[in-house]
Amino acid sequence: MNNSKIIVALDFESLKETEDFLKKVKGQNCRVKVGKELFTNEGPNVIKLIQQYGFEIFLDLKFHDIPNTVSRAIKASCNLGVWMVNVHASGGKQMLLAAREAVDSSSNKPILIAVTILTSYDNSSYQELGFKNNLLDQIACLTTLSENSGMDGIVCSANDICSIKPLVKEKFQFVTPGIRLANSNDDQKRVTTPEDAITQGSNYLVIGRPITSSEDPAALIEKINQKIN
């Protein structure tokens, strides 16, 4: 049984790049994430490829549309046999409920989580969107909405967990991107280290470039597992 908290983000363009990486980490205790770029380029074939290597998959397509469309997309995702799927919490209660019903009515029932505010935002860039709430207040609002709408958890920055954990039940799960092993200069604003994320209450850590660009990703995954377990 896979008990790793690591989800490796496969931010590749092609099946070949993906398979080259999977060969390097085959047998490692982790899960993997397929996002928009890889899935748009390769479609369900990449899901089948990853499953051949034995990894559980977080299908990270962040659905945000009218309830009926999201329901059908979630059902299609469930049929692929993935381990986790997500939607945008800002799609609203009816959309979230439709996603919940789609999972519950499927034979494969992946973990269903909602994205609050992307970790590429800080308070300044978020205010540019024109919302009345500040960043943390909006995250709290979307967290409560997500739990009340039957989500299993949310995607958020690990730095947000302390303020929102009291708002939800104990089994509610936190999936945290923006995990960095050292200081970095990229498009993520609200970042933290694996150890700090676990300390703050993260259930799963989404780690991309630090692992996928490593010369020895298998060794790095093992090292991170040892640190956070």
C-alpha distance from residue 171 to each of 66, 168, 200, 203 (Å): 28, 8, 15, 10
The DSSP H or E segment spanning 24 is helix 15-25
The answer to whether the beta carbons of residues 203 and 173 sit under 8 Å apart is: yes
The DSSP H or E segment spanning 102 is helix 93-104
Q: Give the residue numbers marked as catalytic.
A: 62
CA atoms lying within 13 Å on the CB side of residue 71 = 13
Label residues 152-162 b or e (16+ Cβ within 10 Å = b). Answer: bbbbbbbbbbe
- Give the Cα separation of 174 and 202 in Å (integer): 5
- Give the Cα separation of 217 and 139 in Å (integer): 33
- Give the Cα separation of 43 and 45 in Å (integer): 5
The answer to whether the beta carbons of residues 34 and 59 sit under 8 Å apart is: yes
Nearest C-alpha neighbor of 205 from the set 33, 24, 19: 33
- Give the Cα separation of 205 and 188 in Å (integer): 14
